Amino acid sequence: MEDCIFCKIIKGEIPAAKVYEDRDTFAFVDIRPASPKGGHTLVMPKKHYELITDISDKDMKELSLTIKKISKALMKYGKGMNIIQNNKKIAGQYVNHVHFHLIPRFPNDGVDIEKWSVNKYKEGEIEKVAEKIKNLLK
Ligand code: 5GP
Ligand code: ZN
């Protein structure tokens, strides 16, 4: 993809703080970390795909291994870690090259990813939702 900033970083056309690269995957430090302690790292396939649903099975397998590898380092960098992956603008995706955010966590780091508002299902609704998702798996 010609205009993709992450493709340009992967090709070395734009500088980035790279932490890992292999044949199919790439990881670098996010320029705007979620916490002041930093370490927030982006992990992605080298090939340009927009959404998680676009990635080939083979690239997804390679990517999960790289995510695990970087996670091991970030679990030592911080005290815990969140993994976030945004698909489409409505979900907060601003760069359309699929990527995983690996965010190391620290005490009182001010990051509130896991504190989404908690809602309730009406009686019988949760089963209907499960049925709908199961049908969408087909
Ligand atoms: P998204 O919102 O698409 O899931 O996340 C895009 C992420 O890419 C953001 O966290 C943003 O800080 C990061 N980012 C955008 N442009 C650059 C860049 O040029 N270099 C680096 N290192 N990170 C970037
Ligand atoms: Zn790209």
% of the chain with per-residue pLDDT over 70: 99
At 14, is the secondary structure helix, strand, or coil?
Answer: coil
Residue 72 per-residue DSSP state: H
Catalytic annotation present for 40 = no
- The strands making up 100-105's β-sheet, listed across from edge to edge, are 18-21, 25-29, 41-45, 100-105, 80-84
Q: Mean pLDDT, the chain, as a whole number?
A: 97
Does the pLDDT of residue 1 top 80, yes or no?
no
Can you give the CATH number for the domain in which 30 is found? 3.30.428.10
**pLDDT tens digit sequence for 8-23:** 999 999 999 999 999 9
User: Structural domain of residue 31, as residue ranges?
Assistant: 5-136
Instruction: Give the Å distances, CA to CA, from 77 to 38, 57, 73.
Output: 9, 30, 6
End-to-end CA distance of the chain, in Å?
Answer: 31
Q: Residue 127 half-sphere exposure, CB side, CA atoms within 13 Å?
A: 2
pLDDT at 116: 86
Q: Which one of 29, 93, 94, 99 would you pick to mutate in the ligand 1 pocket, going by the greatest count of ligand atoms within 8 A of its CB?
A: 94
In this prediction, residue 2 has a pLDDT band, given cuts at 50, 70 and 90, of confident
CB 40 within 8 A of CB 101: yes
Averaged pLDDT, 18-41: 97
Q: Is the CB–ligand 1 distance for residue 5 below 6 Å?
A: yes
**pLDDT tens digit sequence for 80-126:** 999 999 999 999 999 999 999 999 999 999 999 988 889 999 999 99
Task: Name the domain count of the chain.
Answer: 1
CB 52 within 8 A of CB 85: yes
Residue 21 CB coordination number (10 Å): 13
